[in-house]
Amino acid sequence: MACLIARRRRLLLLRASILAVFLAGFAFPSVSAVSYRRPRRRPDLHVARRLDENDSTPQQVHISMVGSDKMRISWITDDPTPATVDYGTASGNYANSSTGTTSSYRYMLYNSGQIHDVVIGPLQPNTVYYYRCGGNAGRQFNFKTAPPTFPIKFAIVGDLGQTEHTNSTLQHISQSSYDMLLLPGDLSYADFWQPRWDSFGRMVEPLASQRPWMVTQGNHEVERIPVVHSSSFTAYNARWRMPFEESGSTSNLYYSFDVAGAHVVMLGSYTDFGPSSAQYKWLQSDMAKVDRSKTPWILALIHAPWYNTNTAHQGESESVDMKRDMESLLYNARVDVVFAGHVHAYERFVSLVFPNSLVKNNISKDKADDCGPVHITIGDGGNREGLATKFRNTGGEKISVFREASFGHGELEVVNATHAQWTWHRNDDGESVCSDAVWLTSLSSLTSCKA
C-alpha cells in the first residue's frame, strides 16, 4: 500500500513530464512507469585497502549458504595466514572453530592474494553469529542465518559494478531487512583488470559479510583472452565459490539450494546449456527432485534474459538458444519466477509467460499462460556502462507490464506457501523509491497448474 501511495503521489507531481516520456519512447500503452530525470553516468569507484589494515588483515569478506545449516566464509589476505574461522553467538566469545582451505590464482601478470575458504556449522536458523577470520582479533564480523521457514525476504540485484550508483543501491539494500541476496551475474565489471575484483570485494564486504550472497555468473565474469589467457571464469571461480557440489552439480557455474520454503536454481548462461550438456542433464535431475510440499516456491536465476523488449541484447545465443533448450524444463516444473540481468534496465512481464521457444526475437508472438513463470529483468544495479534506455514497441499482445531504464534493486518477500510480494525500488536522487509492486501466487498452490 505504501508503495502504491508513493507512486500515485509521484504521478501527480510529475504529470507534466509524462508526455515527454512517451515522446522519448520510454513507455507504451500497456506499461506502467513513473517519469523522472534520468541519472547521469557516474565513474568507477576504487575502494582501496584501509590504512589501518596490514598484509595479514582479513579483507573482502563474504559469506554464502552451504546446505541447510552451514555457511561458507571467504576472505583474502595479502600474506599467508591460517584458514580458520572462530565463531559463536555472543560478541567476542567464539565457542567454535573451523578450518578450511587456501588458494590463489594468476591472471597474466596479476597474482591474487591468499583466498581463504572455510565452511562453518551446523548453525541454528534465524540466529546472529559473531566471527573472526584467521585468528585476527582486530576485525569481528557478524551474520544472521536465514529463517527455517516463511516468511523470508530476498534482495535481488544484477549487474552491480562499482560506481556511485552501485554504492547508492547497496545503501538502499542495507536498509531493508532482507535475509539473503541473489545476484544473477555481472558482479565486479573487472573486465580483465584484476585489481577491480579486489576493489569490488571491499565495496560489498559490509553487506556480503552479514547476509549470504548467492550469485551466478554473467558475461563480464568470463574474462577469457584467446592465447593469452585461455581459461574462462578464473577470478570468479576462485573468489566466489558457491555450494554446487551439494546439489549434484559438477560446476560452480550452476547449482541449486533450498532455503526456508523456496528452491532456488542458479543457471549458467555462459556455459554449455544444450540438451546434451552437463548443465541440461543436471537441471533435468534437479527439477525432478523438487518436493513442492517442502519447497512450495521455485525461483530461477539466469543472466541473459529470455524475454526482453529493450533494444539492447536482442538475438543473443545466450538468450534465444538457452530459452529454446531449457525453458520447457522450467515450465514443466512450474517454476514461479525467473530473474535475469544483462539488460541495464528493469522489466517485469505479465503474470506468467508461456514458452514459445520456436519464435526467435519476436516478443509479440509469445503468449501469456497462467502456469508459466513470471520473468523479471533486474540488470540495473549500477554498472559503469550506463542504462539501456530504449525499448521496442512490441505490437500484438502486450506481455511486458512494467519497464523502466533506472538503477535500483528488487525485493521478494515470500510470505507463506501461497503468496509472495515483489517490489522494485528505484534509486531516485539518492533515495530508494518503491516504483513497482505485485503480489504473486505460487503455482504449486493452483489446482489448474498441477503438473
What domains can be seen in the chain, in order of their start residue? 59-144 (2.60.40.380), 152-449 (3.60.21.10)
pLDDT at site 362: 44
CB burial readout 331-362, b (16+ within 10 A) else e? bebbbbbbbbbbbbbbbbbbbbbebbbeeeee
Mean pLDDT of 36-64: 84
| The pLDDT of residue 14 is above 60 | no
Mean pLDDT of 9-17: 36
372: pLDDT confidence band, cut at 50, 70 and 90? very high
Residue 2's CB: how many other CB atoms inside 10 A? 9
Q: Are 303 and 341 in contact (CB under 8 A)?
A: yes
pTM: 0.90
User: 445: closest CA among 423, 409, 424, 414?
Assistant: 414
Sign of the torsion formed by the C-alpha atoms of 392, 393, 394 and 397:
positive
Mean pLDDT of 255-262: 98
Q: Which three cell numbers stand for residue 293?
A: 510440499
Q: Are 353 and 314 in contact (CB under 8 A)?
A: no
Specify whether 229 is catalytic.
no
| The pLDDT of residue 61 is above 70 | yes
Of residues 375 and 22, the one with the higher pLDDT is 375
Q: Which amino acid is at 104?
A: S
pLDDT at site 354: 57
Of residues 88 and 11, the one with the higher pLDDT is 88
pLDDT at site 361: 43
| The pLDDT of residue 340 is above 70 | yes
Percent of the chain with pLDDT over 70: 85
Q: Which three cell numbers stand for residue 27?
A: 513507455
pLDDT at site 100: 98
Of residues 27 and 383, the one with the higher pLDDT is 383
3-state secondary structure of 424: strand
| The pLDDT of residue 355 is above 80 | no
Which of these is catalytic: 62, 172, 303, 313? 313
Mean pLDDT of 412-436: 90
Q: Are 70 and 105 in contact (CB under 8 A)?
A: no
pLDDT at site 44: 82
Q: Which three cell numbers stand for residue 344?
A: 541495464
pLDDT tens for residues 276-332? 999 999 999 999 999 999 999 999 999 999 999 999 999 999 999 999 999 999 999
pLDDT at site 70: 98
4: pLDDT confidence band, cut at 50, 70 and 90? very low
| The pLDDT of residue 343 is above 60 | yes
Query: Rounded to a whole number, what is the distance in angstroms from the first to the last CA of the chain?
Result: 34
Mean pLDDT of 21-31: 30
pLDDT at site 33: 40
Counting beta carbons within 10 angstroms of the beta carbon of residue 431, is it exposed (0 to 12), middle (13 to 18) or buried (19 or more)?
exposed
3-state secondary structure of 322: helix
**What whole-number distance in Å separates Cα of residue 22 and Cα of residue 386?**
21
Q: What is the mean pLDDT of the chain?
A: 89
40: pLDDT confidence band, cut at 50, 70 and 90? low
Q: Which three cell numbers stand for residue 339?
A: 530473474
pLDDT tens for residues 164-192? 999 999 999 999 999 999 999 999 999 99
Q: Which three cell numbers stand for residue 238?
A: 576462485
pLDDT tens for residues 199-228? 999 999 999 999 999 999 999 999 999 999
